[in-house]
Amino acid sequence: MHPIINTIQQKFEQTFSEKPLIVRAPGRVNLIGEHTDYNDGFVLPAAINKAIYLGVSKRADDQIHLVSIDLNESFTGTVNKLEKTAPHWTLYILGVVEQFQKAGKTVGGFNLVFSGDIPLGAGLSSSAALECGVAFGLNELFSLGLDRVTMVKMAQAAENEFVGVKCGIMDQFASMMGHKNSVIQLDCRSLDYTYNPIEMDGIEIVLFDSCVSHSLASSEYNTRRSQCEQGVKLIQEKYPEVKNLRDATQQMLDELVKDQDPVVYRRCRYVVQENRRLLEGCEDLKRGDVAAFGKKMFATHEGLSKNYEVSCPELDFLIDCVKDQPAVLGARMMGGGFGGCTINLVKKDAIPQLIEDVSAKYEARTGKKPKVYVAETEAGVDIVHENEAATA
């Protein structure tokens, strides 16, 4: 049995004297398309083999009992009064309950115990995984009949409204909708999506974790979002049909934003370029041209670092370490930024040596060893059935 599932079952039975329903909710990677989701643009994420596991059961009363095994903390509240002042980690759970209530779905009292192997603050979306796992578990427990995409939207709304981070929809979508061996090409405006098979023979996704802990809730994320909105407002003075940066062109930015606000201009230019890079990059992958795709990842990093300014010296250094390595086809910082992981497409045979070299250089420069994960794509959120739990 997977050790985390075992731990949850034991803790659950000790605490609540019953067996829980177990849900697995994965983290995500994103190959390209960063900071495009909240601009109605495109993203290319996949769910991965790192996950949060939750044990849940119904209660006869209206209480909510939560246990975080990893933080060694617990919380008791009630479905009738969802407190935003509760410890921070509870907001991702209570926020989902609030969304269910807003949608007129009756959620009774419940017990929940969770743990996971998604490193926290590494940009692999542990928060979205928790939200999606809670949504899926409660939907199942109380037979609410919600479909996956509806739960994705509710999980995102929980983060926007209860946690206070104005994130886009990418992370929740990837966690809920992932398929093994596929990346999801998602149009964040229409929510049309396709599963593109990952065909990168002999190439693996390697994540170098800078171990600089980012905080998505940091005001910088919300600031980027509002700078994009400012750019759109300037463009709308002449082109009212532009609803979001997704609709903007370089020429519109040059004409209407460049002289008005150089910082907003750089932010918007990055987003416009990134949407184009993603669409062209998907064509590269369809042709099997991973080398061309990888070059675009390096270009994305450059844009995120210099124009969008969401990188940090440690992430830039990790990219500098790999950019002239023939075995690394592409690399960039991933996720919201200000820390977390870089994502690297690396020739399989060269991985051990690369890890050794990069780790040594990183330690010499920063005094800390990076953590390294080789990510595999996985299916999205699901129930762990008893027979799977026994063999996982």
Among 4, 21, 32, 35, binds ligand GAF (CB under 6 A): 35
Single-letter residue type at 300: T
Q: CA 129, 135, 139: angle at the middle one, nearest 5?
A: 145
The answer to the question of residue 168 lying near ligand GAF (CB under 6 A) is: yes
Among 8, 54, 132, 170, binds ligand GAF (CB under 6 A): 170
Among 171, 247, 274, 382, binds ligand GAF (CB under 6 A): 171
SS3 assignment, position 309: coil
Dist. CA 299–CA 292, nearest whole Å: 11
Among 22, 93, 167, 321, binds ligand GAF (CB under 6 A): 167
- 33 backbone φψ class: left, alpha, beta (φ>0; ψ -120 to 50): left
SS3 assignment, position 180: coil
The answer to the question of residue 26 lying near ligand GAF (CB under 6 A) is: no
Dist. CA 220–CA 97, nearest whole Å: 27
Span of 112-120, 164-172, 177-185, 239-247 interacting with ligand GAF by CB under 6 A: 164-172
Span of 102-110, 137-145, 165-173, 370-378 interacting with ligand GAF by CB under 6 A: 165-173
Crossing angle, helix 126-141 and helix 148-158, to 10 degrees? 130
Among 2, 8, 22, 37, binds ligand GAF (CB under 6 A): 37
Among 12, 38, 100, 162, binds ligand GAF (CB under 6 A): 38
β-strand pairing of 63-68 with 73-78:
antiparallel
Dist. CA 275–CA 247, nearest whole Å: 10
Q: Is 126 annotated as a binding residue?
A: yes
Q: Which residue, 29 or 358, has its beta carbon nearer to ligand GAF?
A: 29
The answer to the question of residue 34 lying near ligand GAF (CB under 6 A) is: yes
The answer to the question of residue 32 lying near ligand GAF (CB under 6 A) is: no
**With the CA atoms of 152, 153, 158 and 164 taken in that order, what torsion angle do they form, in degrees rounded to the nearest 10?**
120
The dihedral built from the CA positions of residue 129, 135, 140 and 145, taken in this order, carries a sign that is negative
The residues, ordered by sequence, that sit 6+ positions from 97 with a Cβ below 8 Å of its Cβ are 64, 79, 82, 107, 134, 138
The answer to the question of residue 119 lying near ligand GAF (CB under 6 A) is: no
Q: Which residue, 2 or 35, has its beta carbon nearer to ligand GAF?
A: 35
The answer to the question of residue 274 lying near ligand GAF (CB under 6 A) is: no
Give the shortest CB-63-to-ligand GAF separation in angstroms.
30
Span of 168-176, 197-205, 300-308, 356-364 interacting with ligand GAF by CB under 6 A: 168-176
Q: Which residue, 69 or 271, has its beta carbon nearer to ligand GAF?
A: 271
Q: Is 281 annotated as a binding residue?
A: no
Span of 65-73, 167-175, 266-274, 381-389 interacting with ligand GAF by CB under 6 A: 167-175
The residue to which tokens 């004297």 are assigned: 17
Q: Which residue, 294 or 336, has its beta carbon nearer to ligand GAF?
A: 336
Residues 321-340 that bind ligand GAF (CB under 6 A): 335-336
Asked whether 251 and 197 are in contact (CB, 8 A), the reply is: no
Q: CA 246, 318, 365: angle at the middle one, nearest 5?
A: 145
Residue ranges at the known binding site for substrate: 34-37, 221
Residues lying near ligand GAF in the complex (CB under 6 A): 34-35, 37-38, 125, 167-168, 170-171, 216, 335-336
